[in-house]
Structures are given as structure tokens and as C-alpha cells.
Homo-oligomer: A and B are copies of this chain.
Amino acid sequence: MSRSRVELTPVGVVESPLTDPAAAPKQGDEGAPDAWLVFEPEVLDALDGIGPGDQILVLTWLDRASRDVLKVHPRSDPSRKPQGVFSTRSPDRPNPIGLHRVEVVALDGPRILVQNLEALDGTPIVDVKPVLSADVGER
């Protein structure tokens, strides 16, 4: 099996009032604030077709996560039995890619305002995708 590494190039960055990992909500629907997605000039063409009201998936690189953690207490609750990180949404995991479903509020040139994003200020953005019906279990 190939174990070759692959390289991601951030396409933008999160601008958010969230700066303290300990105080950040664990999920976007747990009181996360609005945030700006600020994109690099060279990828702006890739945003064409995104508009206010759209539901999008933002993929981030959780640069403050630990990559050598394989088991965690779910939701950091020590009373819960440790589980493998692939069965949790812990940011700590071998490849700490964050997956955030958010709604687009507004566009302003290279910036997109979104609702309820739990990512910390300065988190690199690596991809954006539309939400599909298959993502939500509609077949």
C-alpha cells in the first residue's frame, strides 16, 4: 500500500471572534458565532455560484489539534468510555480535517460571511462543497 504523503494548500482562512480553544463550542449548533471565510485571490473563481442562503460544507485544517491521538473520551467527558477518534468528532485525529456545515449569510469580494462556525480564528480553509441530498441521507 502506498504511504506517500499528500500536501494541502490552504485556500483561505477563518476570521472569527473565537480565539480560545477551551471556550470554543464543540459543534456549530452549540452557540458558535458568525464568522468570515477569507479566500486567497487566486481561488476566487472557484466561489462562483455560491450565494446567500446556500448551505455549504467548509473543510478546515485544525492546526491546533494533536495528530497522535487515537482514542478520546467522547465530548471530553471523563465519565464516558474512551472511543476511537474515527467514531467521534474530536479535533484530535491523525489528519485533523474539520468539517463544518454552515449557511451563507453574505458575500463581500473574497469574503463570505457564514453562521454558526465553531472553527477558531486563523484556522486554514482547505475546501468548500455544496450540501447534497445524499449527505443528509436522502436517497
Contact = CB atoms under 8 A, between A and B. Distances in A.
Given A1-B40, A88-B130, A94 B49 contact: no
A71 B45 contact: yes
Interface in A40-99: 40, 43, 45-50, 54-57, 59, 61, 63, 70-71, 82-89, 93-95, 97, 99
Chain A interface residue number, banded: 35 or more
**What copy number does this chain have within its complex?**
2
Contacts of A7: 5-8
Given A10-B2, A126-B95, A134 B49 contact: no
Contacts of A122: 2
Contact of A97 (B13, B38, B59, B85): B59
